[in-house]
Structure 1
Amino acid sequence: MCLSSCPFLCPVDLRDTASLALKFQFNPKLGIDNPVLSLAEDHDCSGPWSLERPRFCLLNKEEGKSFGFHLQRQLGRAGNVVSKVEPGSSAQRQGLRVGDRILAVNKDVVEHEDSAAVVRYIRASGPRVLLTVLARHVHDAAQAQQGSDAHLCPVLGSGVRPRLCHIVKDNGGFGFSVTHGTQGPFWLVLSAGGAAERAGVPPGARLLEVNGVSVEKFTHNQLSRKLCQSGEQVTLLVAGPEVEEQCRQLGMPLAAPLAEGWALPAKPRRLDLKKGPQGFGFLLREEKGPEGHPGQFLWEVDPGLPAEKAGMQAGDRLVAVAGESVEGLGHEETVSRIRAQGSFVSLIVVDREADRFFSMVRLSPLLFLESTETSASPKDTCSASLVETENVLVEDTDVTSGSLSSCQCLLYPGPGGGYGFRLSCVASRPCLFVSQVTPGGSAARAGLQIGDVILEVNGCPVGGDIDPERLQQLADAEPPLCLKLAVRSQQSLEAWIPPGIGEVRKKIQETLASDLL
Structure 2
Amino acid sequence: MKYPPDTGDGMEFPRFTFNPKEGIDNPALVISDDPETDPSPAPRLCHIKCKEGQSFGFRLRTEKGIRGHVVQQVDPWSPAELSGLREGDHVLEVNEDFVDNMEFSRVVTKIQVCGVQVFLLVLKKQEYEEALSQGLDLQALTSSYRGETCSRPRLCHITRDPGLGLGISISPIEGQKGGYVLSTVRDGPAERAGVRDGDRLVWINGAVVSTLTFSALNKMVKKCSAHVTILVIDSESEASYTRRKLPILPIMAGSHNLPHRPNTLHLVQDSDGYGFLLRQEKMPSGRVAHLLREVDVGSPAEQAGMQDGDLLLAVNGQPSESMEHEEIVRRVRKSGKSVSLTTIPVNGRQFYTQLGLSPLLFHEDHRSEAEGIKRTLLPCTDVQNEPTKDNHGSLPCPRLCVLEREESSFGFHLGCVQHKLGTFIGQVETKGSGHKAGLWEGDVVVEVNGQNVENFHFEDVVMLIKKSESLLKLLVVERSGYEKLKQSGLPIIPGVILHSNQSQ
For the superposition of Structure 1 and Structure 2, which TM-score range results when normalised by the shorter chain?
0.5 to 0.7
- C-alpha spacing 1:211/1:59, structure 2 compared with 1 (3 Å): farther
Are 2:165 and 1:173 equivalent residues in the alignment? Answer: yes
Of 143, 146, 164 in structure 1, the residue corresponding to residue 129 of structure 2 is 143
Partner of 2:43 in structure 1?
Answer: 54
> RMSD between aligned alpha carbons?
4.8
Are 2:346 and 1:352 equivalent residues in the alignment? Answer: yes
Whether the 8 Å CA contact 1:85–1:97 is kept in 2: the answer is no
Partner of 2:325 in structure 1?
Answer: 331
Partner of 1:233 in structure 2?
Answer: 227
User: What is the identity, as a one-letter code, of the residue corresponding to 1:69?
Assistant: G
Greater shift after overlay, 80-89 or 309-318?
Answer: 80-89
C-alpha separation between the residues in 2 aligned to 1:108 and 1:261?
13
Q: CA deviation at 1:282?
A: 0.8
Matches within 5 A, 1:250-399: 253-370=247-364
Whether the 8 Å CA contact 2:150–2:237 is kept in 1: the answer is no
User: What is the identity, as a one-letter code, of the residue corresponding to 1:110?
Assistant: V
C-alpha separation between the residues in 2 aligned to 1:60 and 1:415?
35
C-alpha separation between the residues in 2 aligned to 1:158 and 1:326?
37
C-alpha separation between the residues in 1 aligned to 2:453 and 2:165?
40
- 1:145-183 deviations in Å (ceiling 9; x for gaps): 762764555137799432211123334432322222573
Partner of 2:93 in structure 1?
Answer: 104
Partner of 2:191 in structure 1?
Answer: 197
- C-alpha spacing 1:409/1:264, structure 2 compared with 1 (3 Å): closer
- C-alpha spacing 1:193/1:141, structure 2 compared with 1 (3 Å): closer
User: What is the identity, as a one-letter code, of the residue corresponding to 2:92?
Assistant: L
Whether the 8 Å CA contact 2:402–2:473 is kept in 1: the answer is yes
Whether the 8 Å CA contact 1:164–1:259 is kept in 2: the answer is yes
User: What is the identity, as a one-letter code, of the residue corresponding to 2:331?
Assistant: R
C-alpha separation between the residues in 2 aligned to 1:275 and 1:371?
21
- C-alpha spacing 1:446/1:204, structure 2 compared with 1 (3 Å): closer
**TM-score of the superposition, structure 2-length normalised?**
0.59
Select the structure of larger CA radius of gyration.
2
- C-alpha spacing 1:481/1:252, structure 2 compared with 1 (3 Å): farther
Are 2:113 and 1:131 equivalent residues in the alignment? Answer: no
Structure 1: segments with no counterpart, 5+ residues:
1-31, 36-51, 374-385, 392-406, 421-441, 449-456, 461-467, 484-501, 506-517
- C-alpha spacing 1:503/1:227, structure 2 compared with 1 (3 Å): closer
C-alpha separation between the residues in 2 aligned to 1:334 and 1:444?
41
Q: CA deviation at 1:254?
A: 3.2
Whether the 8 Å CA contact 1:207–1:236 is kept in 2: the answer is yes
Could you tell me the percent identity over the aligned residues? 32
Partner of 1:214 in structure 2?
Answer: 208
Are 2:156 and 1:162 equivalent residues in the alignment? Answer: no
C-alpha separation between the residues in 2 aligned to 1:345 and 1:273?
5
Partner of 2:70 in structure 1?
Answer: 80
Partner of 2:59 in structure 1?
Answer: 71
Are 2:111 and 1:122 equivalent residues in the alignment? Answer: yes
Q: CA deviation at 1:355?
A: 0.4
C-alpha separation between the residues in 2 aligned to 1:176 and 1:219?
18
C-alpha separation between the residues in 2 aligned to 1:472 and 1:224?
36
Matches within 5 A, 1:414-433: 417-418=423-424
C-alpha separation between the residues in 1 aligned to 2:449 and 2:185?
39
Whether the 8 Å CA contact 1:183–1:218 is kept in 2: the answer is no
C-alpha separation between the residues in 2 aligned to 1:355 and 1:419?
24
Structure 2: segments with no counterpart, 5+ residues:
1-36, 368-386, 393-398, 404-409, 416-422, 427-433, 441-446, 466-470, 476-486, 491-504
Whether the 8 Å CA contact 1:275–1:343 is kept in 2: the answer is yes
- C-alpha spacing 1:170/1:446, structure 2 compared with 1 (3 Å): closer
C-alpha separation between the residues in 2 aligned to 1:131 and 1:163?
19
Q: How many residues align?
A: 370
Whether the 8 Å CA contact 1:261–1:371 is kept in 2: the answer is no
- 1:76-125 deviations in Å (ceiling 9; x for gaps): 45442253357585x577x3434454321134433467876642331244
Corresponding residue SS for 2:54: coil
- C-alpha spacing 1:234/1:85, structure 2 compared with 1 (3 Å): farther
User: What is the identity, as a one-letter code, of the residue corresponding to 1:481?
Assistant: K
Corresponding residue SS for 2:322: coil
Q: CA deviation at 1:313?
A: 1.8
